[in-house]
């Protein structure tokens, strides 16, 4: 996750914690004069496609990062989750999700069983945590998006759609910087759209309706293309492709390719 000091990366068995920190301004307005010339490091897309890495330490964590095992209380405080029973349950799931599939499946299932007992509260907790994060805590925000995509409740769809539809703040780093803040903001919104498509609900109608709306919303075409892909995958491809072909601009029919 992104924290508030110098970037560091450390492997702590069995968890991989990635911490990247920045002193960038947190306002959504024009970049400040002292904006950093380069954005904080972001995990490769190949890592973020399944589970963004969690990191978790406040300032001075470099000394903690040098030792193993990690201080899990320090790790928890870096997640942006509240120190409540629900926040602790979510952290338990995050930790389980970092384990190898063959070793962590039982822990993930056990953690999710707890979350399933009060899904509405879990979603509300995640939404509140997301809203209180600094704009520049990109990977931390991705973790919240990931968690929302694991909660099997229609409220999670609404929360993810809100994130996907949110306005992208102005670029905050130096012009032409590779991997600037816009790239990270689009990645967060793209992850939210894909998380909607991956949700397993009792009825697919909620998921399909959300993706259908995002497919024709006034969003960047890269985001709409993800929504189109998810919408086509969630139902009858031929029928849905014909439906969207009639409402999309002909120049965007490439989105309908298998």
Residue 70: the pLDDT is: 65
**pLDDT tens-digit readout, 191-230:** 999 999 999 887 789 999 999 999 998 999 999 999 999 9
Tell me, yes or no, whether 243 lies in a domain: yes
With b for 16 or more beta-carbon neighbours within 10 A and e for fewer, the 223-234 pattern comes to bbbbbbbbbbeb
Mean pLDDT computed over 72-76: 90
What pairs with residue 2 in β-bridges? 20
Q: Which helix (H) or strand (E) holds 203?
A: none
21 within a domain of the structure (yes/no): no
Question: What's the whole-number average pLDDT of the chain?
Answer: 78
Q: Report the pLDDT value the prediction gives residue 258, as an integer from 0 to 100.
A: 83
Domain with 247 in it: 152-169+182-258
- Mean predicted confidence (pLDDT) in 50-68: 42
User: In the numeric block, which tokens belong to residue 109?
Assistant: 């299932």
Distance (Å, whole) CA 66 – CA 12:
9
Task: Specify if 231 maps to a domain.
Answer: yes
Residue 254 has pLDDT above 60, yes or no: yes
Residue 71 CB burial class (10 angstroms; 0-12, 13-18, ≥19): middle
Q: Which residues contact 53 (CB under 8 A, 6 or more apart)?
A: 1, 16, 17, 18, 43, 47, 98, 139
How many whole angstroms from its chain centre is CA 68? Answer: 27
Burial 23-54 (b: 16+ CB within 10 A, else e): ebbeeeeebeeebbeebbbbbeeeebeebbbb
Whether residue 209 lies inside any domain: the answer is yes
Question: Distance of CA 21 to CAs 61, 74, 186, 242, Å?
Answer: 11, 15, 19, 46
Q: What tens digit of pLDDT does each residue of 90-137 get?
A: 999 999 998 888 888 999 999 999 999 999 999 999 999 999 999 999
CA pair distance 6, 59, nearest whole angstrom? 9
Higher-pLDDT residue of 169 and 157 is 157
Which H or E run includes 112?
helix 101-116
The angle subtended at Cα 88 by Cα 107 and Cα 22, nearest 5°, is 105
Per the domain annotation, does 106 fall within a domain?
Answer: no
Residue 237 located in a structural domain:
yes
Closest Cα partner for 35 from 49, 25, 45?
Answer: 25
Is residue 222 within 8 Å of 190, Cβ to Cβ? yes
The structural domain count of the chain equals 1
Predicted local distance difference test score (pLDDT) of residue 103: 82
Reported pTM: 0.74
Task: Flag whether 239 is in a domain.
Answer: yes
Which residue, chain included where needed, has tokens 């904080």?
A: 40
120 domain-assigned: no
């Amino acid at each position: 996750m992104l924290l508030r000091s110098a970037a560091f990366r450390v492997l702590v068995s069995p968890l991989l914690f990635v911490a990247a920190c920045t002193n960038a301004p947190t306002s959504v307005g024009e970049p400040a004069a002292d904006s950093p010339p380069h954005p904080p490091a972001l995990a490769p897309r190949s890592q973020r496609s399944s589970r963004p890495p969690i990191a978790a330490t406040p300032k001075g964590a470099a000394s903690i990062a040098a030792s193993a095992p990690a201080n899990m209380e320090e790790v928890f405080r870096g997640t942006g989750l509240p120190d409540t029973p629900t926040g602790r349950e979510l952290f338990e799931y995050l930790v389980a999700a970092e384990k190898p599939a063959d070793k962590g499946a039982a822990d993930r299932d056990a953690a999710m069983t707890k979350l399933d007992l009060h899904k509405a509260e879990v979603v509300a907790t995640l939404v509140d945590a997301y809203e209180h994060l600094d704009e520049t805590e990109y990977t931390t925000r991705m973790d919240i998006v990931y968690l929302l995509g694991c909660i099997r409740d229609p409220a999670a769809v609404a929360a993810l759609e809100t994130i996907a539809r949110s306005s992208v703040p102005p670029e905050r780093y130096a012009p032409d910087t590779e991997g600037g803040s816009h790239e990270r903001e689009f990645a967060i919104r793209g992850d939210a759209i894909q998380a909607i498509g991956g949700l397993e609900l009792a009825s697919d109608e909620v998921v399909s309706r959300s993706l259908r709306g995002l497919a024709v919303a006034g969003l960047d075409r890269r985001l709409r293309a993800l929504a189109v892909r998810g919408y086509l995958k969630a139902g009858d491809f031929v029928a849905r492709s014909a439906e969207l072909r009639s409402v999309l601009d002909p120049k965007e029919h490439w989105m309908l390719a298998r």
